[in-house]
Amino acid sequence: MSALVALVRWLTDPVNWQGSHGIPIRVLEHIELSGLSVLAALVIAMPIALYLGHTGRAGFIAINVANIGRALPSLALLAFGLVIAISLGLGLGFWPTVFALVPLAIPPILTNSYVAIREVDRDIVDAARGMGLSEGQILRSIEVPLGLPLMLAGIRTAAVNVVATATLGALVAGGALGRFIVDGLALQEYDQLMAGALLVALLAVVTEVSFSALERATVPPGMAAIR
Partner 1 sequence: MTPGEPLIRGDWLLSHVGEIALRVGEHLELTVIAVVVGFLIAFVLSLAALRIPRLYAPITWTTGILYTIPSLALFALLIPYTGLSLLTAEIGLVSYTLLILIRNIVAGVRGVPAEVRDAARGMGYTDRQILWRVEIPLALAVIFAGIRVATITTIGLVTVTALIGQGGMGYFILLGIQLFFSTALIVGALGSVVLAVLADGALVLAQRALTPWTHAR
Positions that interact with partner 1 (CB under 8 A): 3, 67, 70-80, 82-83, 86-87, 160, 163-165, 167-168, 171-172, 178, 181, 184-185, 190, 193-194, 196-198, 200-201, 204-205, 208
Sign of the torsion formed by the C-alpha atoms of 70, 71, 73 and 77: negative
Closest CA to 112 of 70, 166, 158, 74: 158
124 vs 186 by CB, closer to partner 1: 186
Least distance to partner 1 from the beta carbon of 180, Å?
9
Closest by alpha carbon to 104, among 79, 70, 80? 70
Residue 4 Cβ, how far from partner 1 at the closest point, in Å?
9
Compute the least distance from the CB of residue 42 to partner 1, in Å.
21
Task: State how far the alpha carbon of 138 is from the alpha carbons of 109, 144, 217, 218, in Å.
Answer: 21, 8, 22, 18
User: Of 9 and 57, which CB lies nearer to partner 1 in the complex structure?
Assistant: 9
Q: Is the dihedral of CA 78, 160, 150, 42 positive or negative?
A: negative
Minimum CB–partner distance for residue 9 and partner 1 (Å): 14
Cβ closest to partner 1, residue 142 vs residue 203: 203
